[in-house]
Amino acid sequence: MAGKNHVWQIFKMGGSNQVMLKSGDDIANLAGLDQKLWAALSCPVTGIRFDAKTLQMLDADHDQRVRVPEILAAVDWMKVRLTSLDSLLIGTDKVQLSAINGATPEGEALLANVKRILKDLGRPEASEITLSDLESQKKAFADTPFNGDGILPPDSVSDEALRQTVADIIATVGGVTDVGGKTGVDQAKVDEFFGAVKARLAWQDAAKEAGVLPLADGTAKAAAAVKAVESKFDDYFARCGLVAFDGRAQQPLDWSEGAFAALTDKSLTTDFALVKDLPLARPVAGGVIDATTAINPYWAAAVAEFRSAVMEPMGIASLTAAEWQRVKATFAPYFGWQGGESGKEVAALDADRLAKLAAGDDAAKLAELIAKDAALAPEYAKLVEVEQLIRYHANLLELLNNMVNMGKLYDPNAWPVFRVGTLYLDGRACSLCFQVADAGAHSAQADASKCCLVYCSISRPGSGDAGTICAPVTAGVARTLYVGRNGVFYDVDGKDWEAKVVKLVDHAISLKEAFWSPWRKIVEALGNQINKFLASKQDAAVSNVTANVNDAAAAPAAAPKKLEGAALASSVAVIGIAIGAIGSAIGALLQLASGLPWWKSLLGVAAVILVVSLPSVALTWFKLRSRDLAPILNACGWAINHRLGFSLKLGRLFTSEAKLPEDSKRNFSDPYADSKPWWLWLLLLLAAAAALWYFVICPRYCGGCNAKKDAPAEAVAPAADAAAPAAPAAK
């Protein structure tokens, strides 16, 4: 295999080994590189920032994806046409004629084409050809009447009558775009058009058969009148048949009073749309439709048209059920013919024009001109080959550096082809943004990246441009991100777009957030409990006041009661409990630290903080280390071959937070800041002072204060007369 013994240079980035492309020899030997070492095995041709025409040329099977075999085919194509692939490392659309290999048949033919183009441009002595040179030659070739694409625009046909035929083809069956951007016709469109003309004429001739046009020229108008009332006539005669079968059916099948009662509060108009669904007429046994029949006002005009267009020409004075069936049978052949209509594409052309087209030789003339144009296809192919050389020369290396390796991904100052701009949101700039088609489908796959992802819809007012982007957020905190938040997106061209968050995928963002997360949860839990306690007290107070008001309204007026001792004690107890809880907590900490040196106390406080925060930080550290951009790119249509991890440092570069300028002058006074709750701080200070006195100062410096309370009670000597046992009697 080619390149089997080639020495590759490997660099490690994102936790994976990647191949470096440093020379044309590296590119030439890519066929010998194990595909398992490629960073990506395929990429989409849309949604990336890359030359679209180059991608179209690479996409040989036109499946909207560029795969490794197509890349290798492009490399092989260049190898036989260039003396060395080192010139690809420059990445420019200027190709030196000296770089083209005239020693191979392919290179020799290509060099001849390049020299002819330069000669046609009036620069036969030029030593290089550029993309602008090629585009100028392509435009000049495309503007000629015959340019090798097999497409005829109307202005390329000199005969006026034939030009009108080309215009008719475009207007009826559509046209195709030629290499010059003009709309014309090719052989397929010509065949489609004249086939439709023949089919239309055959269908029109079928109308001349017996029975298809029962009323001659008036058949079409009469058929339309039949269709307009068909469903209502069928319904009416069916109701009349049921009434004839059993007279008791008349009342239920007739217009009910309830139907009219429902209209009493409606605003009636002359079109009577509100009675459209009521029966056509009152059903009676042997019912008929004639001039005396009372018709539902909504259907009156349609029935009158039916009488004029159908009944009168057919000599029907009174339409019975049998006559109605005869009418439908009479028009059945017409409806069948109408349902088999052919050549609808050319229905806009009148019969005379169709007959002239069918009898003429326009089809043969157009086929001859198209063949003459297509005969120049080899000349156009030569231009395409030169364009392929220039575009590959300018762009192939960039695509290789996004598929063989992902070196540009790890450089915040570089622009890989999938990076489409920078999102400014929530005081952050997210520079790694991807274009996505469907946020829901993309997020379902991208969730495996373990990254915090924000999806935004973007639009440019007044232009009609819109889309969706995805940006990993790798710095700051997540709690300030929410669906509906607005931002601004700047694309790679510097255009600004309005951005709105439409979806969030929540994952760890930073160690700073992880450190404070447990404490925030503790504060939120305490706040919730306090809110519940205060809410319950408020509800109880409102209920109590309501009950007292009701009692006062029902009973005679009495003097207001004073706060009784039990109620007063209860209120004071609540306040005391709150102060006591705070004081006890502070006291417990002070008592614990009272016998320790100050540095040990500080170490103890630090230990408590670490015990609470360290597990969260450690867990988040492992999560951040497992982040992988590969699932995000896979969701965008890439076939990523291995993990694309990134460090915490790189994450901070991808998402930068707002920082004040180093030389800025800051004024920390805020004239509109809320007033400080001095009473709360005073309460806490008093509680801390009391705890300090009770648990630290008094035990250490005033040991007698608590001596009696802490010492065991002394035994009381018993009285002599009570404690002494009685003396034994003298013997």
Q: Does residue 249 surpass a pLDDT of 80?
A: yes
Same domain, 100 and 171: no
Spatial contact of 71 and 55, defined as CB atoms under 8 Å apart? no
**For residue 730, pLDDT beyond 90:** no
Better pLDDT: 661 or 723: 661
pLDDT of residue 568: 44
pLDDT on residue 42: 95
> In this model, does residue 639 exceed pLDDT 70?
yes
Out of 236-240, 279-283, 596-600, which region has the weakest mean confidence (pLDDT)? Answer: 596-600
Per-residue pLDDT, averaged over 155-165, amounts to 92
For residue 553, how far is the Cα from the chain centroid? Answer: 63
Residue 99 has pLDDT above 80, yes or no: yes
- Whether 583 and 687 have beta carbons less than 8 Å apart is answered as yes
pLDDT of 364 reads: 94
pLDDT per residue as tens digits for the range 448-481: 999 999 999 999 988 888 999 999 998 888 888 9
In a domain, 122, yes or no: yes
Pair (129, 162) in one structural domain: no
Are 16 and 87 in the same domain? Answer: yes
User: What's the confidence (pLDDT) of residue 584?
Assistant: 58
* pLDDT above 80 (res 277): yes
**371 and 391, same structural domain?**
no
Residue 459 lies in a domain: yes
The closest of 38, 10, 16, 11 to 645, measured between CA atoms, is 16
Which of 418, 554, 327, 326 is closest to 47 using CA atoms? 418
Instruction: Read off the amino acid at residue 366.
Output: L
pLDDT exceeds 70 at position 496:
yes
Per-residue pLDDT tens over the stretch 2-33: 456 899 999 988 778 899 999 999 999 999 99
Q: With 70 as the cut, is the pLDDT of residue 285 above it?
A: yes
Let me know if residue 300 belongs to a domain.
yes
pLDDT tens for residues 27-44?
999 999 999 999 999 999
Examine the domain organization and report whether 183 and 328 are in the same domain: yes
Same domain, 243 and 324: yes
pLDDT at residue 723, as a whole number: 43
Let me know whether 167 and 307 are in one domain: yes
Question: Do 224 and 312 share a domain, yes or no?
Answer: yes
As a whole number of angstroms, the distance between CA 216 and CA 330 comes to 12
| Confidence band of 704 (pLDDT split at 50, 70, 90) | very low
Residue 320 scores a pLDDT above 80: yes
* pLDDT at residue number 31: 94
The confidence score (pLDDT) of residue 435 equals 94
Q: Are residues 177 and 108 in the same domain?
A: no
- Of the two residues 655 and 723, the one the predictor is more confident about is 655
Confidence at residue 161, expressed as pLDDT on a 0 to 100 scale: 92
Express each pLDDT in 72-91 by its tens digit: 999 999 999 999 999 999 99
- Number of compact structural domains in the chain: 3
| Same domain, yes or no: 178 and 320 | yes
As to burial, measured by CB atoms within 10 angstroms (0-12 exposed, 13-18 middle, 19+ buried), residue 703 is exposed
Whether 105 and 245 share a structural domain: no
How far apart are alpha carbons 667 and 316 in whole angstroms? 100
Last residue of a domain, one of 448, 482, 507: 507
Confidence grade of residue 398 (pLDDT, cut at 50, 70, 90):
very high
pLDDT at 94 over 90: yes
Q: Average pLDDT for residues 519-532, to the nearest whole number?
A: 73
281 burial via Cβ count (<10 Å: 0-12, 13-18, 19+): buried
Q: Could you give the CA distance from residue 319 to residue 307 in angstroms, rounded to a whole number?
A: 9
Q: What is the pLDDT of residue 385?
A: 95
Query: In this structure, is residue 556 part of a structural domain?
Result: no
Domain membership of residue 582 (yes or no) is no
- The reply to whether 435 falls in a domain is yes
- The yes-or-no verdict on residue 500 having pLDDT over 70 is yes
The alpha-helical segments, DSSP class H, found in 128-218 are 131-142, 160-173, 187-206
- pLDDT given for residue 635 in this prediction: 93
User: Rounded mean pLDDT of 423-430?
Assistant: 93
pLDDT over 60 at 433, yes or no:
yes
Are residues 384 and 401 both part of a single domain? yes
Dihedral (Cα; 175, 177, 178, 181), 10-degree rounding: 130
Taking residues 320-337, what's their average pLDDT? Answer: 94
In a domain, 621, yes or no: no
The structure's pTM equals 0.67
The span from the CA of 650 to the CA of 637, in Å, is 24
Q: Token match 């084409």: residue? A: 113
Higher-confidence position of 616 and 502: 502
Average pLDDT, the chain: 84
- Summarised one tens digit per residue, pLDDT across range 115-124 is 999 999 999 9
Domain that holds residue 475: 418-507
Express each pLDDT in 332-390 by its tens digit. Answer: 999 999 999 999 999 999 989 999 999 999 999 999 999 999 998 898 899 999 999 99
Q: What percent of the chain is predicted at pLDDT more than 90?
A: 54
CA distance 322 to 315: 14
Closest CA to 30 of 68, 61, 66: 68
Structural contact between residues 199 and 348, judged by C-beta atoms closer than 8 angstroms: no
78 part of a folded domain: yes
